[in-house]
Each structure stands twice: as structure tokens, then as C-alpha cells.
Amino acid sequence: MDGVMIAEQPMPAYIAEVCEWLLAAEGNVGNGVESNDVLSAIVAGDALDVLLEVHPPYPPIRQPVRQVSLSLAIAKARAALECAGGEATTVEERLRIARALRLLRGHADQ
């Protein structure tokens, strides 16, 4: 069987943690708890897109088991992003983290 091998780079642990919280937020659409759940899910998805814009790509993210409110997931993702900024090893990574954090902060300010 011939398969196409896609080169991947390892995902830093702090980025993986942020992505798990963002996936938890994105997956909570329609739970009826929060009135802005669709907008929160879109913002979480946008932040995920920003963080995953790398070449070569990261491996697929495992789907989180967490069942938490959107506000908690977004707050945890923001806190993890703030910590991640200090651990980033490249300028590009710092810029992605800053862009994702700006998206989440902008959403929280609305």
C-alpha cells in the first residue's frame, strides 16, 4: 500500500493544552447554558486556526473529554496562552500566541 507521508513537527505541550481547552469551548455549542455560545465557538475555532498555522503541521489534536462551560474553557485557554507566551521559542510562535490571545481577549471584552 502506497501512502503519502506528511511531515509533522512535535506540538509543544503548552500549545497542546491551549488547543484542548479551545476544542472544549468549540465543542460546547448548543448546550443552552450561555447565550453567546455560537460566537464563543467561532472565536475558539479562529484562535485554534491561528495556533495551528505551522509548517510542517502539528499532528492531529486529540479530542478532549472535558465537559465545561464555554466561559471556563475560554478563561482556561487564555490563562494557558498567557503562560505559553513565555515558553515560546521562536518569533513566529510568539506572534501566533499573541494573535490567538488577542482574539480571546477581544471576545471577552464584548
**Kind plus residue range of the DSSP H or E element containing 25:** helix 13-26
pTM over 0.75: yes
pLDDT grade for 96, boundaries at 50, 70 and 90: very high
* Residue 55: partners with Cβ closer than 8 Å, 6 or more residues away: none
Stretch 9-26: mean pLDDT: 88
- Greater model confidence, 31 or 59: 59
* 8: phi then psi, degrees, rounded to nearest 5: -130, 155
The three cell numbers locating residue 85: 507566551
pLDDT grade for 23, boundaries at 50, 70 and 90: confident
B/e letters for 18-36, b = 16+ CB within 10 Å, e = fewer, are bbbbbbbbbbbbeeeeeee
3-state secondary structure of 76: helix
Q: Using alpha carbons only, how large is the chain's radius of gyration in Å?
A: 14
* Residue 54: partners with Cβ closer than 8 Å, 6 or more residues away: 9, 92, 96
